[in-house]
Amino acid sequence: MGRKTPGLNTSSMSDISFLLLAFFLLVSNINTDQGIARRLPPPLPPNQEKPPDIKERNIFVVKINSKDRLLFNGEVGDIHDLKDRAKEFLGNPNNDPNLPEKLQMEIPMLGMIDVSKGVISLQNDRGTSYDMYIAVQNELTAAIDEMRNELSQAKFGRKYADLTEPQAEAIDQAIPIAISEAEPTKIGEKK
C-alpha cells in the first residue's frame, strides 16, 4: 500500500494575502498627476457681449508651430530664452513703454505694489509635439515661480514654498499666473 503524502492546509492563506493586499492599498500613497494649474477668466457679465480689449503692449504672444519652433511677438526665439523673456515682460523692471502697464494695488501683508497687467498668450499649432508644449509650459511656469520667489525673499526673507498660506496668497495677488491659451490651429490659419 502506498504512503499518503501529507498535505498543507492553505485555506486561510488566501484570506491572509487578501488582508495584506487591502492593508497595503489603504496605507500607501498613490501619486496622482497634478496637471497644469491655470485659472480661467471670470465669466462675462450677462449684459456684456464681448471681452474688454487688452492693449497690445500688455500681450506677449508665444507661438509654437508644427515643427516645434518658437516665435516671441513675431521674432524667432529659443526655448532657453523663454523664461528670461517672460520674466522681463511680466516684471517690466525699467518701466519700458513697450512692455506691460503696471497697476498700483494695496495688497495685505505687502502694502502698495505694482502689479503687471501683462498676459502671456500661448498659441500652438495642431502639429506641435506634446514634449515641446510641456517644455514651453514649464518655462512659463518657471518664470512665474522665480518672480514669486524673488518677491517672497524680498518681502518675507523666505522662499515662496516656505510661506504661510496668507503670505503665499499675497504673493499670488502680486504676481498672478497670467497665461492665456488659444485653441490649437494651423499657425497662420484664420479662425
Residue 90 buriedness (CB in 10 A; 0-12 / 13-18 / 19+): buried
The pTM is what?
0.70
Domain assignment present for 41: no
Domain assignment present for 27: no
Query: Strand 179-181 and strand 75-77: pairing?
Result: unpaired
Domain assignment present for 32: no
Q: Which helix (H) or strand (E) holds 141?
A: helix 130-156
Residue 34, pLDDT score: 66
Domain assignment present for 135: yes
Task: Tell the residue number behind the cell numbers 499649432, with chain if given.
Answer: 125
pLDDT (tens place) for every residue of the chain, 191 residues total:
677 777 777 778 888 888 899 988 888 877 666 666 665 566 767 777 776 677 888 889 999 988 999 988 888 989 999 999 999 999 988 888 888 999 899 998 899 999 998 889 888 888 889 899 999 999 999 999 999 999 999 999 999 999 999 999 999 999 988 888 877 666 555 54
Task: Give the domain extent around 93.
Answer: 56-181
Q: How many domains, the chain?
A: 1
DSSP state of 161: G
